[in-house]
Chain A
Amino acid sequence: MATDGPHRAVGSAAEEVNDTPDLELKLPARAENVAVVRHAFGGFAEALSVDEQTLADIKLAITEACTNVVIHAYDDDEDGSLEVDASIDDRRLTVVIRDEGRGIVPRPDSPGLGLGLPLIATLA
């Protein structure tokens, strides 16, 4: 896992996604939409014949990153966006999860265990 600016998390190879990703999703940053993103990647993987274990890793990493957006990016009363870009290049998948929130800042009251980013780094 590498971060590319405070609002942007890059999974897999920490390279720039080309200008026209193979898949772009833009949704409200709500918990229920994390499942929509997971499901979309199921279709993405089906079309690309990705094996089950790799797909499970992809879904887990994406779920962690999207959940970070839902939980941390916006205030509770703020309805912000969750954007996901995915590109395939030379059999490598690059995923960018983006929000327009407050960025990554220390949060003593965080409800999470802080394991999401290390987990993504392990899977990518």
Chain B
Amino acid sequence: MSVEPGTNEATVTVTAGPLAGPVLGRVVGMLTARADCPIDRLDDALLVTDAVAAHAPARSRDGHVQVVVDAHETGLELRVMRLQPDGALAMMHDADLPGVGNIFEQIADDVHTETDEDGEQLVVRIGFAA
């Protein structure tokens, strides 16, 4: 299988449970840092990743958390795949913190849901602009 030239997209699939946080955090952290992300946005990216790792397992369609990570020079996109019906919206609600608001909406530049044949997706985009 070939890979589209110039992209550095990684797909991480991990069993829903204690593996999700440590594995996702390290992969996202490394890919984001390598994309020359400013340090404050790197911290934001890891906060979003922690939120994904915390809430995606309960909304997973098949007991696995799958995230497509696309880190490039202008931003980071996390695409949480294979969610249950209405799972993406439920993940959004799960990330509401009293007194803080919604973690995804507070940090990301764009959050939306999509649907394809593999189920629902939650798409989170973080820009690197200062």
A residues whose Cβ falls under 8 Å from a Cβ of B: 20-30, 32-33, 35-36, 39-40, 42-44, 46-48, 78-81, 100
Contacts and interface: CB of A to CB of B under 8 A. Distances in A.
Contact of B7 (A25, A28, A39): A28
Contacts of A100: 1-2
A44 B12 CA distance: 12
B12 to A, nearest CB: 6
B117 interface: no
Main secondary structure of the interface of A (DSSP, over half): mixed
Contacts of B47: none
Contacts of B12: 23-25, 40
Interface of B: 1-5, 7-15, 18-19, 21-27, 29-31, 34, 62-64
A81 B5 CA distance: 11
Contacts, number: 84
Given A43-B23, A47-B22, A80-B1, A24 B8 contact: no
Contacts of B21: 43, 47
A24 B27 CA distance: 12
A20 B64 contact: yes
Given A24-B11, A36-B31, A81 B23 contact: no
